[in-house]
Chains A and B, each alone.
Chain A
Amino acid sequence: MAMVEIPADMELVYKRPESLTLAHTHYCPGCTHGVIHRLIAEVLDELDVRERTIGIAPVGCSVLAYYYFNVDMAEAAHGRAPAMATGIKRVSPDKVVFTYQGDGDLAAIGTSEIIQVANRGEPFTTIFVNNAIYGMTGGQMAPTTLPGQVTTSSPTGRDVETTGWPMRMAELIGILPGAAYVTRQAVLDGPGIRRTKKAIKLAFQSQLGGLGFSMVEIISTCSTNWHMGPVEALEWAKEHMVAYYPLGDTKVSDGVRALMEGR
């Protein structure tokens, strides 16, 4: 990919990370997947690990993420990305391995796999995008859909009496001994995006240090299936999602603490 020559009197302040391809994404206007992809790519560039990174795309809206990340990628069956990542990391421990999963993938059909990898402390990184809905299939109730939230499969609003409660995955995973670093962040505004990037970087650094399993849950939006404009969706997520899903770390192991304090 040819880079444009930078004039001598100008400084390069912003560029496409090398860990992203030139492909146009299929994501809807206002979708936050693009932001999260970019944050991961920036981190891979900064850690200089692109050439030894293997990513796993999930089933869901980000199923085509393998076209967008300029790293080796595999596409997993629904919910099985953590098991695939386990296989890859075990036979290629020198590689940097990550899964990119949505809420249906990770918190419904793939609950077993995610809990088991965290408990075994598999030293890879999971990026968990929580937007409280099944986007790809057209807006059905997810395990993370909020009480009362209207979706195409909870048309009168999620009734917790019959469908259970939204799953707080960062808390659930955080209590497992094999998890080194688990955090929940949000990409709903500038400061949140910067904090999310820091968390993603720490998660990958924790992997590079062989410290255990790391997961960054990211509160995200789905304008299309929430039937809101992008700005309205961001505001709604701030008001409702963050209230139910508190931001912050749910697990920082001693090793990760040392990493944090070391920088």
Chain B
Amino acid sequence: MSAFDDQSQLRGAHLQERIGNTALWTLSLITVLPILGIVIFIIYKGIPGISWEFLTSMPSNGMREGGILPAIIGTFLLTLGCFLFAVPLGIAAGIYMADYAADTPMTRAIRIAIISLAGVPSVVYGLFGLGLFVIFFQMGVSILAAAMTLAIMTLPVVISTTEESLRTVPNAFRVVSISLGATRWQTIRRIIMKEGMPGILTGVILGLERAAVETAPILFTGAAFYLPTLPTSPLDPTMALPYHIYVISTQVPGMPLTIQYATVLVMLTFVLIMNIVATIIRSRARAKRQW
């Protein structure tokens, strides 16, 4: 007699399955609800403050009126600078770790260091940037110093996602390519990189996204409380969205709430757009994947 003949046992199994499914569904809903709640709340509160003028004009009257143009531009510049420093270096290091570095205790130590670096609190990066770039290299509180600090913080993410996405490319491709007379570098450039690129891009974007909205690393290295003009050189300090939010939420008495919510909404949109781009790249690559 098999288990299936025993009707009561079968009913028990069905019931368990139903309870399990419901429990998992509920738990996933619970994780999504707070995020949805926050987003909807911010959109609801922030929309009235959003206008063309808000996005394109300088703050006025002690930031209680006017727009947030310098903060938007500042965040854009910082993210761009971070990209320029972190991405070439990080991808190169990732390629080395995935395809060249032999499996030695040294390589393993480096890998552990990279992973640990990703867990270092951002304020520590901020102080590191203050010590190294602002003071030691005498860059002063500047876009350059802040972008480099953000880059140092983003590097571990770029390195490890590059390494991981290159490792997921089937080894057979490497063997076949080499067997057809390709060199190692040709194999990496023509096949491994091409197949790993969507994964790398996704990682890069997610890393940049974190850098774009971090406050602590730029706090001592490049962010300004208020500037009457836009920055004109990489050695100028700049306003930036995350720090601006901190300032208008805690440092300015009599700040209209609409401006606070609208600023947060702008930053969230920034993050959301980057997220959507990353998702599109990933899903398009998955649809095209030939293995």
Q: Do A and B bind each other?
A: no
Question: What residues make up the interface of A, taking CB atoms closer than 8 Å to B?
Answer: none
